[in-house]
Amino acid sequence: MGWTITIGRVAGTEVKVHLTFFILVAFWAMGGYREGGATGAVLATLSLLALFACIVLHEFGHILVARRFGIQTPDVILLPIGGVARLQRIPDEPRQELLIALGGPAVTFAIVVLLYLWLTALGRDPQLWGLRPDGPFLETMMQVNLYLLLFNLVPAFPMDGGRVLRALLASRLGLVEGTRIAARLGQACAVLAGFYALTTGRGLLVLVALFVFLGAGAEAAAVETRAAGAGLSAAQMMVTHFRSIPIHATLAEAVELLLSGEQREFPVVDNLGRVEGILTRDHIIKGLSQRGAGSIVGEVMAAQAPLVAPTLGFQEALERLRASGLPALPVVDATGRLVGLLTMDNITDLLLVRRAGSPLST
């Protein structure tokens, strides 16, 4: 996910802020300004930063429970709808996901209880409801955290309540079906909330609904892809009929190869058949316009293309291909021999075939 700024690193997890979070800051500051001028805007912004700290604590509730189950969290991103702790993987057992999903709300609940007890001990008679911009700071914090808690527990996947629902569904229906139902429900909630927000002119809620809608779709798609590819290795995913091109070939020869068939990405090999890189259609076109048809393949190819071992698992191979930013990667066995070509097109075809033939697909 782009559009983020890293603001720190806690216990092995990078804390990042999505730029849209600052839209929330702007809304909040504008509200403060309308109520109390410049001072109001500053106070409102400070309150929001305190809330921001509470959200980080909430996320670390998820992260610490996940760590107990051996799942690391490389980063946590703060969005206007709250935070998203990006776990390394989905826990294998629904029970674990249930506990991880509840870890964040448990922290928020604890913040509300502690602030309530503290304010009561001070003799302030704290009110749980009735948020107002000029309310006392700690009472406001308590109220906002309470709203946050209830909001997070709405069963709209991918929010915490939706994850709890997915875990409950998955324990009976399996991960794919459970996720599909939870995601559809989340998207339905998002559409309703979005419609309500548009008709009542609540801009921030439109944004939240959009995040929920897109998040639910992306998560469901990721789970389905993972399930469709379960048990596959790179050797089963790769193209085995392909042409490679010598590193000293000219671009004119590359063009001939490109136009002679359907293949668009070519592994580049040296005289001994070792893989030196990958040449894509884009490389050829760019090379032609910048250097001319007489220049050689070695000058325009991607030389740093990561290699894939035939034994690499489905998810790892897919992630390596995505991370490379290239449309194809060479598959090379332990002896250094080029045995295949991993392409996104071929993986897509394979998954379609597997889904069509799988008794699990409905």
| Six token digits for residue 310 | 């035939």
Kindly state the smallest distance separating residue 159's Cβ from Zn ion, in Å: 7
Sign of CA dihedral 290, 295, 297, 302: negative
Which range in 152-160, 167-175, 232-240, 315-323 contacts Zn ion by CB under 5 A?
A: 152-160
CA–CA dist 221, 179 (Å, integer): 9
Which range in 159-167, 229-237, 270-278, 333-341 contacts Zn ion by CB under 5 A?
A: 159-167
Which range in 70-78, 101-109, 270-278, 312-320 contacts Zn ion by CB under 5 A?
A: 101-109
Kindly state the smallest distance separating residue 82's Cβ from Zn ion, in Å: 6
Kindly state the smallest distance separating residue 160's Cβ from Zn ion, in Å: 4
Q: Which is nearer to Zn ion, 104 or 162 (CB)?
A: 104
User: Token pair 């992306």 is at which residue?
Assistant: 218
The SS3 call for residue 309 is coil
Q: Which is nearer to Zn ion, 104 or 310 (CB)?
A: 104
Which range in 43-51, 157-165, 236-244, 265-273 contacts Zn ion by CB under 5 A?
A: 157-165
Terminal Cα distance for the chain, rounded: 31
| DSSP characters over 9-68 | EETTEEEEEETTHHHHHHHHHHHHHHHHHHHHHHHHHHHHHHHHHHHHHHHHHHHHHHHH
| DSSP characters over 145-156 | HHHHHHHHTSS-
Kindly state the smallest distance separating residue 345's Cβ from Zn ion, in Å: 37
CA–CA dist 328, 330 (Å, integer): 7
162 binds Zn ion (CB under 5 A): no
100 HSE (CA, 13 A, CB side): 29
Kindly state the smallest distance separating residue 1's Cβ from Zn ion, in Å: 17
104 binds Zn ion (CB under 5 A): yes
Q: Which is nearer to Zn ion, 81 or 169 (CB)?
A: 81
Q: Which is nearer to Zn ion, 104 or 186 (CB)?
A: 104
Count the residues of the shown chain that bind Zn ion, applying the rule CB under 5 A: 2
Q: Which is nearer to Zn ion, 107 or 175 (CB)?
A: 107
Q: Which is nearer to Zn ion, 1 or 26 (CB)?
A: 1
Query: H-helix or E-strand containing 78?
Result: strand 75-79
Q: What are the residues whose beta carbons fall under 8 Å from the beta carbon of 241, sequence distance 6 or more?
A: none
97 binds Zn ion (CB under 5 A): no
Q: Which is nearer to Zn ion, 154 or 285 (CB)?
A: 154
Q: What are the residues whose beta carbons fall under 8 Å from the beta carbon of 243, sequence distance 6 or more?
A: 257, 261, 263, 266
| DSSP characters over 172-228 | HH-HHHHHHHHHHHHHHHHHHHHHHHHHHT-HHHHHHHHHHHHHHHHHHHHHHHHHH
Which range in 32-40, 155-163, 197-205, 336-344 contacts Zn ion by CB under 5 A?
A: 155-163
User: Token pair 């091109």 is at which residue?
Assistant: 245
Contact residue for Zn ion among 160, 219, 224, 265 (CB under 5 A): 160
The closest alpha carbon to 158, from 85, 106, 228, 103, belongs to 85
Kindly state the smallest distance separating residue 19's Cβ from Zn ion, in Å: 20
Q: Which is nearer to Zn ion, 91 or 104 (CB)?
A: 104
| Contacts with Zn ion, residue ranges (CB under 5 A) | 104, 160
